[in-house]
Amino acid sequence: MKNETKCEINNKSKSEKIIKNPPFRGAATAIITPFKNGRPDFYAFERLVEFQISEGVDAIVFCGTTGEASTLSEDEWRECVSFAVSTVKGRVKVIIGCGSNNTANAENKSAFAEKSGADGILSVTPYYNKASIGGLITHYKRIAASVSIPVILYNVPSRTGVDIPFEAYQKLANVENICGVKEASGNVSRAAQIISLLGDSMPLYSGSDELSLPLMALGAKGVISVTSNILPREITALCRMCEREEYKKAAKLSAALYPLTSALFCEVNPIPVKTALYEMGFCREEFRLPLCRISPENRQRLTRELEKRVELQN
């Protein structure tokens, strides 16, 4: 089959579940997109990427929610995709955010990401116009058919107004190169249901930093993390502990990480995390409207937690 090499699928018979190896295991950083004078700042971007790789992350997700992808022009998005692949050079997995509420646009973006050399795509649920369950399934089947690389679904109803129902997961688990889901609904019961009933036919990633430990204890393959922009080594260490089933150690680290993780969501993502990276000297404090600078009160809170991160690193 065309997709067996890319997704490492074991489809023994029609009566059995399709078993898929996930596109990556462990920690993936949902990286910001730095700007300078209204344009993507590729000098700062390269420094951020090198920092992530040197700290040991398993994958980097470009052009996602944290990357302010919805404000990138088509040309800027393509530049960022090309930059991602050429800068990473195969050292970690490159996952590209290709979602859209226009199925044809999502197909075109996915095909461009594959042609550019991405290892997989992340496809958010259609927003604003939403979709019925039938439309949602057809949307994702069309996207998956447009590429041979792994497709990771992205369920984040707080942003899109669409919560993928379990029945849709059941249908989409039978699509060979739909190789995972980033569950950012905050619904632990739903995640447990997916892991328990669909298993390796729908590998699951935590889309919420504070839930990484409980979801990995249930069987999630890793996390697509905002916090790892700031503490990539620590988020990677947390994932390694879970993989080794060292849950007491992981619980201690997760508890230590929580105050900073919480501060990184004191305002809408990615305002706090980009502010933190500015404070660390990685980028400018530049956003695209409707995002704007953090409030003075929340800046103080974030700065306090950033000052404590040295304790986590020792």
The catalytic residue among 6, 20, 109, 182 is 182
How many beta carbons lie within 10 A of that of residue 186, not counting itself?
14
CA atoms within 13 A on the CB side of 67: 30
The catalytic residue among 20, 93, 154, 274 is 154
**Residue where the block lists tokens 């984040």:** 156
The Cα-based distances of 13 to 10, 17, 19, 174 in angstroms read 9, 8, 11, 12
How many beta carbons lie within 10 A of that of residue 135, not counting itself?
13
Cα–Cα distance, 61 to 41 (Å, whole number): 17
The Cα-based distances of 39 to 17, 63, 73, 89, 205 in angstroms read 46, 14, 10, 23, 31
Task: Output the six-digit token pair for 137.
Answer: 């399934």
For residue 127, give every residue at least 6 positions away whose Cβ sits within 8 Å of its Cβ, in sequence order, or none.
101, 159, 160, 161, 162
Active-site residue flag, 154? yes
Cα–Cα distance, 213 to 314 (Å, whole number): 21
Active-site residue flag, 182? yes
The distance in angstroms from the start CA to the end CA of the chain is 48
Query: Nearest-5° angle of CA 24, CA 154, CA 100?
Result: 120
CA atoms within 13 A on the CB side of 278: 20
Residues tagged active-site: 154, 182
